[in-house]
Structure 1
Amino acid sequence: PTQNGQYLMHKAAEKLGKEPVLQAAIRHRIHMFGHKLVGTGYYRQFQQDGISRHRLEFKTQVAGEVTSLTQVCDGRHLWVRESSGDTAKLSRIDVRRVLRAISDSEIRSEVSQIRAPLSLIALGGIPRLMGALQRSFVFVRVEEDNLGGVPVWVLHGHWTEAYREQIKSTFPTLDGKVPDHLPDSAKVVLARGGGFDLFPFKIHFQKRGAYSTDHLEDRPIVSLQLYQVTRNVHMEASQFEYQRGDQVVLERTDALIGQLLPASEEPAEDE
């Protein structure tokens, strides 16, 4: 029977949101504006007593220098430590306040986030990334395939009408075209059966003619690959508490809310 892409995405997001203990290796590729970046790391999620915690540790090599990113969310605060060479900065974000602020303008905030999957993961782990994908894209085509001998579903999606309208109103000078930094389409590879049924092994955000105007097919500009997935790992809440020591902390809650709600369309009233 032909499978419905929207249904598969919905079930995948739902299942992932219920995984109490999960760890995966992660590879993140960006291929945009003539630059290629590859980052690797680990993702962990731990859900207990209704509190969702997650941790992402990540390294990218840029111009011969390694930059590292650590995102730790204890359910209340998100701690972000970014370091490059000898410099490091630590930020703290009140996750509940951000989620409250953007809940009324979900579409607007997700349009600005969708090109940066790590920012969606920061606020709610990979379940939040999957939820955003499911809301912002219509998955119209589903294929059966194999990934390294593992049966998978391959889902192809384009922007929903509501998100397309939001892009038009955010970028009015582009005559309805999607700006260069935003994808035209998405492709998601989900496990088909097995112990991790519907787990997202790969997520690609794609752009038409991305690497060369001669080839007008959609090519990935931002990709996320999850592998070495396991539940067989001991986790406890203390692993998701950030030990800040005597580091200076930047409070970035308001800055993040400002980023996620671009000013092209000011809210009608103050909070």
Structure 2
Amino acid sequence: MKYRLPIFTLLGLAAMTVAAAEWMIAPGCLSRALAQSPSAASEAPADSSIDYGAPGSDASAAENILTTAARRLHESPPFEAKLRERIDLFGQQLVGSGVYMQAGQGSDQFRLELKIQLADRMTSLTQVCDGRYVWTRRDLGPEQQYLSHIDLVRVRRALAESGSTAIPPNQWLAIGGLPGLLNGLSENFAFNTPATHQLGELPVWTTKGSWRPEMLADLLPNQADAILAGKPASL
């Protein structure tokens, strides 16, 4: 039971990358990313207009796919994507569905509605960004309802003053919507060379990656020495 809230937060991140897959592949807009801790995978349709990096440059190729997808999503017209999620996390089988809506055209406005079947109860997550504030409501049961909000202007000002651009993984979506999530994957994961595959009748790129040790060490300071020495993190 102690994993309920962390699981729900991670599911929000994972489900948003499913939204990316369902919307971006169809118009040839680049990327499908599936974020999982401690590893991640992404798929994207081939696009000859993108520079995927020099031959053998694994990181450059995958990072260019993600960053270009994030930029195009941020600049795209408004869109809506349905979500379907199935995940095995901490030994629990979870299934969810919902919808993601984004204003696009350079706006930070978005809305996420997600329902997850957790054990014997239905839980929900609603997240709304009006461009300045992000409101998040988590409903985990009759006595487990949470409402919070983030002032994006204050967050970005604090990051600028500290000279840091690091954002916790559970806030990648809140601070930037789906484009922010894709940028978070690009900045925090090391990916291998993308390969071409088919998703139904759609051509896609597939790449797999794992946490960059220095990024994961920052998130888990108590395990930093072990992580930087090449040992797996203990979740």
- What is the TM-score normalised by the length of structure 1? 0.56
Query: Where does residue 25 of structure 1 map in the other structure?
Result: 82
Correspondence for 2:181: 129
Where structure 2 has 5 or more consecutive residues not aligned to the other structure, the ranges are 1-47, 53-60
- Partner of 2:165 in structure 1? 106
How many Å apart are 1:34 and its aligned residue? 1.4
Aligned length: 173
CA RMSD in angstroms comes to 2.7
Three-state SS of the structure 1 residue aligned to 2:83 is: strand
Once the two structures are TM-superposed, the CA of residue 105 in structure 1 deviates from its matched residue by 2.9
How much has 1:95 moved relative to structure 2?
2.0
C-alpha deviation, 1:99, in angstroms = 3.1
SS in 1 for 2:187: helix
Task: Considering Cα pairs closer than 8 Å and 6+ residues apart, tell me whether 1 or 2 has the greater RCO.
Answer: 1
**What is the alpha-carbon distance in structure 1 between the residues aligned to residue 128 and residue 207 of structure 2?**
30
Which protein is richer in strand relative to its size?
Answer: 1
Return the letter of the residue paired with 1:73.
Answer: C
Residue 59 and residue 164 in structure 1: after superposition, are their counterparts in 2 closer, same or farther (change >3 A)? closer
- Residue among 133, 136, 149 paired with 1:92: 149
Larger radius of gyration: 1
* C-alpha contact (below 8 Å) 2:74/2:107 kept by paired residues: no
Structure 1 residues 134, 170: CA separation in 2 closer, same or farther (over 3 Å shift)? farther
* Letter matched to residue 140 of structure 2: S
Residues in 2 aligned to 1:46 and 1:86: alpha-carbon distance in whole angstroms: 32
Q: Residue 140 of structure 1 corresponds to which residue in structure 2? A: 192
Question: How much has 1:97 moved relative to structure 2?
Answer: 1.6
TM-score using structure 2 length: 0.63
Aligned to 1:77: 133
Correspondence list, 1:239-250, <5 A: none
The Cα of 1:46 is off from its aligned counterpart by 0.2
In structure 1, stretches of 5+ residues that fail to align are 182-271
Do 1:69 and 1:83's aligned partners in 2 also have CA atoms closer than 8 Å?
Answer: yes
Hey, which of these two has a bigger chunk of helix by percent?
Answer: 2
1:55 aligns with 2:114: no
Percent same amino acid at aligned positions? 36
Counterpart of 1:180 in structure 2: which amino acid?
Answer: S
